[in-house]
Homo-oligomer: A and B are copies of this chain.
């Protein structure tokens, strides 16, 4: 319901009514509405991270040594764009929900996302630094940040580029976005310092 109608758009009364439990159940079991959001997201995000790290492990086994930059980017971005899409009917809304929390101002959500994602992101950042030994490490960090921006904006997109391009592009298509993102980001990462 959070994914479908948004966190703010979903009242605790909607949830408890759908679950056929008492109004106070959420506050009793999760402390607050935010606590419930945190619990819901922590579970989904944890599995996404596992998928990411599985991809990272496969990169290390690949033919290129050190792993190709493109492989690393794909392993990082792909689960974020498509995880949740196949499993469950509200997958797309769920992907958007995750992305929207990533740009949220509220401290609670930022701490949750940091706790869940930072460890694996740091490992990817280190791997990409190793794949680009000629570049200053801090510059790679900046570029990693730009990558997160492009990735999250693809997830969150709900019509911006369709509007600008008069419908020529559907940015919410994960395969299409990934196919264009990887060469774009790889070239950006490889730009001379």
Q: Which residues of A contact B (CB under 8 A)?
A: 6, 8, 96, 99-100, 102-103, 105-106, 110, 113-114, 118, 121-122, 125, 138-139, 141-154, 156-161, 163-165, 168-169, 171, 176-177, 180-181, 183-192
Contact = CB atoms under 8 A, between A and B. Distances in A.
Q: In the complex this chain forms, how many copies of it are found? A: 2
20 contacts: A6-B105, A6-B106, A8-B8, A100-B103, A100-B105, A103-B153, A113-B160, A122-B164, A125-B165, A138-B169, A142-B176, A144-B164, A145-B153, A145-B154, A145-B160, A145-B161, A148-B153, A150-B153, A183-B192, A184-B189
A161 B141 contact: yes
Given A105-B158, A165-B141, A183 B187 contact: no
A57 to B, nearest CB: 20
Tell me whether chain A's interface is mostly helix, strand or loop, or mixed. Answer: helix
Contacts of A191: 183-184, 186-187
Nearest to A93: B105
A94 B147 CA distance: 24
B184 A143 contact: yes
Contact of A149 (B114, B149, B168): B149
B158 A110 contact: yes
Which of A143, A145, A153, A183 has the most chain B CB atoms closer than 10 A to its own CB? A145
Contact of A110 (B102, B150, B159): B159
A135 to B, nearest CB: 11
B122 A145 contact: no
Contacts of A177: 142
Contact of A125 (B105, B113, B164, B186): B164
A177 B102 CA distance: 19
A184 B156 CA distance: 22
A122 to B, nearest CB: 5
